[in-house]
Structure 1
Amino acid sequence: MKKYAVMILCQLCMLMYSATAMAATAINADGYYKGIKLCGKVKVVEHFADIKVKVVESFPDLRVKVVNAFPDAIGKWQFVEHGEDFTVQFVESFPDIKIKYVESFPGVE
């Protein structure tokens, strides 16, 4: 009986680990986060943002290239004060997504 309980516990741990690994990023393969397409005009706000973002150097969810015009591909962001497509708040803890600024090849990891 004890071996059976240990075996069940080990299987549950492996299942939880694999589910965590599969849900490692909140961004889907098409570049959407909760229905927000991660390209376009972005406004930085202090509170009540659509997305909380942490800037990292390794293991980002999204590679971001800052552009001055035509932010029409996933990962291309144009920072604006008005007329935004979505808002972001930069945080150090509990981000929704993690980004890395790049000069080329923006998009989903």
Structure 2
Amino acid sequence: MNAALLILGAIAAQEIGEDCTLEGIALYGKVKIVEAFADLEVEVVEAFPDLKVKPVTVFPDACGEWQFVESFPDFTVRRVEDFADLEIMFVESFPGWP
């Protein structure tokens, strides 16, 4: 029973907060894609994402708006196929929670 509670606690820890954060990282802003030592590992999915992401070129200041940059990122991500911290789906409108 205690193991089940630990697993549920681990799953709950991965939920996006009401302030659009995960693990203390705001899920909007300037993002750099890296191959190692990323702040978050993300999996791109076609349905049922944890977060809808809209790539923008300026002012990434709303939940799910990401501006991809090469320097001075707010956080870094690494794309993975399994065991991601966050599942995302790219959209053209209405970013944020599904």
TM-score band by shorter chain is: 0.7 to 0.9
Match of 1:46 in 2: 35
Report the AA paired with residue 55 of structure 1.
V
Percent identity for Structure 1 against Structure 2 = 56
State the Cα distance separating 1:93 from its structure 2 match.
Answer: 1.0
Gaps of 5+ in 1: 1-11
Check 1:27–1:73 CA distance in 2 against 1; reply closer, same or farther (3 A cut).
same
Q: Please say if 1:66 is aligned against 2:55.
A: yes
Gaps of 5+ in 2: none
- How many equivalent pairs are there? 93
Q: Which runs of 4+ in 1 moved over 6 A?
A: none
Match of 1:98 in 2: 87
State the Cα distance separating 1:48 from its structure 2 match.
Answer: 0.5
TM-score by length of 2: 0.86
What is the alpha-carbon distance in structure 2 between the residues aligned to residue 23 and residue 30 of structure 1?
15
In the alignment, is the contact (CA less than 8 A) between 1:25 and 1:61 conserved in 2?
no
TM-score by length of 1: 0.77
Larger radius of gyration: 1
